Amino acid sequence: MRQILFMDTTLRDGEQSAGVNLNPQEKLQIARQLERFGVNIMEAGFAAASEGDFQSVRDIAKVVKNVSVMSLARAKESDIRTAYEALKEAVAPRLHVFIATSDIHMKYKLRMSREEVLSTIRESVKLSKSLFPVVQFSAEDATRTDYAFLAQAIEEAIRSGADVVNIPDTVGYTNPQEYYQLFQYLKQHVPSFDKAIFSCHCHDDLGMATANSLAAIEGGAGQIEGTINGIGERAGNAALEEIAVALHIRKDYYNAASSIVLKETKATSSLVSRLTGMIVPKNKAIVGANAFAHESGIHQDGVLKEASTYEIISPELVGEEQNKLVLGKHSGRHAFTDRMAELGYELAEDERDRAFRAFKQLADRKKEITEEDLHALILGETSLLDQQYEVKHLQAHFVSNGTQSATVVLEDQEGNTLEDAATGAGSIEAIYNAIERILKLDCRLVDYRIQSITQGQDALAHVHVELEQAGKRVSGFGVAQDVLEASARAYVHAGGKLKRLAVSKR
């Protein structure tokens, strides 16, 4: 297998993301984690950009021992010498020197001719090589450069001492087929192609950075450049974790390997996200919160039987503890039953069926079903199995500064429908008065308590009531997303007990 080098530029290109500003301590934290992650080269910053960047590059160069530390530099003597001062204490220092080669950059940004650019490449690379054991040259905006001139510029860089040649898609312009063909073209038209390692650096403006990077490997690239979580200028860079896992999972196709320690993937992603403040989207490949989550009943059933039915990547491979069977409106009976067993509930068939129906009803209204919701749901629904009455319909009419009214429909164990309406000083009092009329109760509300089981606007409410009638006190509870519904269920629960006591007394 070919060994592909991984060059991480999270601390340089990644920090250029809008709104990201890492302090020296944060950069050191990321650098140490990148070392654990197993990258081969770490672009620690742009030493000549500022005093702060210079200091960060120097600090990282002193600390990191198992990764080659690199600084970016323009093709200018002052940049190159500043980078040397920052990196001279590194165990394995290298320089990344660049200049643009596309006509649009040469005309409008550099205001230089092709001949002047070639001369600058020659002089800057020679100076760099006199100071550094390893020099990387980048032809900025390579994918929009005339192919013949690009080949000429690269040949000049290699002859002048460049060890690595980077072909960056600086503005995310190319596509996988074009990028593959560009590497193939350079292989055929750069005489010294085999004397240097060719690298790719892809931006994600058109959403193809990872695909383009993999195409470059197929085309002959021996080094990949990117960032953790794909952060960077504009739409960001190729995400190194995606490329590393793709090479591992599809080694049958790419026949390439890397030094990346895949089990450190999640930890690296989380650290970079936390320190940069750039949230990882839930659906982000490899490291997103939903990357190993399954909600569809069909998917959940398959994963429970054999994980590989719907998972090509094991969570443990990238440092995740386990996959997540997210219970939601698409979940099936198999996943629900399995989760209940995990929570310690061994449900009889009628209990399971009733709880599953209640779960599906809740999932239609609630975005996320939590473990607390499940406990409350089971508690509420299984308790209804021996209840005499069930709330089938509830309607409360609220009038500001007025008398409230409510209509309640109950169903008894024989399937009979019982309905009545009442008024009260508040909505709950009106509901309770209606229930008393239906059940023909003459009781007193001794206690009423309500608590939110989970957080958020769609949290489940748990209501506990105590009723007293003829010296007998009973309790009841109800669980529902709506406070009024939970209150009604609790009162009916307790009222049913009072009715049963009255019957047994007779």
Q: Which residues contact 400 (CB under 8 A, 6 or more apart)?
A: none
Please state, rounded to an integer, the average pLDDT across all residues of the chain: 88
Label residue 506 by pLDDT band (50, 70, 90).
low
Distances (CA, A) of 491 to 150, 447, 463: 80, 11, 9
CATH number for the domain formed by residue range(s) 2-276: 3.20.20.70
**∠320-45-178 over CA atoms, to 5°?**
75
CA contacts within 13 A on the Cβ side of 62: 10
Looking at domain 387-505, which CATH architecture does it have? 2-Layer Sandwich (3.30)
The verdict on pTM exceeding 0.75 is no
Lowest average pLDDT, out of 12-21, 74-83, 378-387, goes to 378-387
| Percent share of the chain, pLDDT over 70 | 87
Predicted confidence at residue 339, as pLDDT, reads 72
Predicted confidence at residue 93, as pLDDT, reads 98
Which of 249, 241, 264 minimizes the C-alpha distance to 316? 264
Mean pLDDT of 102-125: 97
- CATH 3.30.160.270 residue ranges of the chain are 387-505
pLDDT at 270 over 70: yes
pLDDT in tens, 299-329: 666 655 776 776 778 878 888 765 555 566 6
pLDDT in tens, 331-377: 777 777 777 776 666 667 777 777 777 777 767 665 666 666 676 66
Q: How far apart are CA 273 and CA 81, in angstroms?
A: 33
Q: How far apart are CA 435 and CA 492, in angstroms?
A: 7
pLDDT in tens, 44-61: 999 999 999 999 999 999
Lowest average pLDDT, out of 104-108, 152-156, 240-244, 294-298, goes to 294-298
Predicted confidence at residue 386, as pLDDT, reads 56
- CATH 3.20.20.70 residue ranges of the chain are 2-276
Mean pLDDT of 214-224: 98
pLDDT in tens, 161-190: 999 999 999 999 999 999 999 999 999 999
Q: Coil, strand or helix: which one is 102?
A: coil
Mean pLDDT of 114-125: 98
pLDDT at 283 over 90: no
pLDDT at 195 over 80: yes
Residue 387: φ, ψ to 5°: -80, 150
Residue type, 367: K
